[in-house]
Structure 1
């Protein structure tokens, strides 16, 4: 598990992550543009995809092609919230923590499943959820 940095409680960390997710989902960040979805369905631990399926560690660096994806550095820990169905399950949705994300405790986005190794399984990712017409908003 990740240690909470700078004395912040886990509750504060999850509250900030929830606020970030809501801003992304509802376009509260202003000046947002809808990005096409990557898959029609995804596997989650629950119907809202709000509980992490697993904790993974990055095996290599990753530079994202657009705002739907998150930059990752080798060795970073990621929480995996969903795994896209189809497309060979190439992409997962998760969060990564780090000081480079400014006011947010974590950043949520997609990353290739091939660059991480799952270390801890938290909940089974067996709930199949349909993705919305637009599954991500970019600023």
Structure 2
């Protein structure tokens, strides 16, 4: 009986630890994008310095990397942009979109105007 209880607790702890992701607090309720789905990059930037994120909402960036920016957060989150790092940094992993401080990059090419205001959703700040 004690072994069954131990086995059941072990399985429950394992399943809890293996959850796919978690919801993180929103950085902002609005963002500026090129379109209503934020599917087109609005600008290309180059990293001025390394950035090591504090949590999973953010992406790591290395100095000199190219970053495609898809959204600029507004209101209380206006210091953050959302984008994808492009380079050999990820190796065989696919690049992912995440947030980073706008101060760690410099704009190199404007692509599309960020004139569409979009409400952020829980998925904007979901961590895998």
Structure 2 alignment gaps of length 5 or more: 1-18
Which residue of 44, 58, 70 corresponds with 2:33? 44
The whole-number CA distance in structure 1 between the counterparts of 2:51 and 2:109 is: 21
* SS of alignment partner, residue 103 of structure 2: helix
Task: List per-residue Cα deviations over 1:39-77 (Å, max 9, x = no partner).
Answer: 010000000000000000011110100011011111100
- Aligned residue pairs total 110
* SS of alignment partner, residue 106 of structure 1: coil
TM-score by length of 1: 0.73
TM-score by length of 2: 0.79
Alpha carbons 1:37, 1:134 under 8 Å: kept:
no
Match in the other structure for 1:22: none
Alpha carbons 1:35, 1:135 under 8 Å: kept:
no
* SS of alignment partner, residue 114 of structure 1: helix
Instruction: Show the 5 A alignment for 1:4-43.
Output: 31-43=20-32
Alpha carbons 1:54, 1:123 under 8 Å: kept:
yes
Match in the other structure for 2:46: 57
Is residue 97 from structure 1 mapped to residue 86 from structure 2 by the alignment?
A: yes
Runs of 4+ in 1 over 4 A off after TM superposition: none
Match in the other structure for 1:68: 57
**Once superposed, what is the RMSD of the aligned Cα atoms?**
1.6
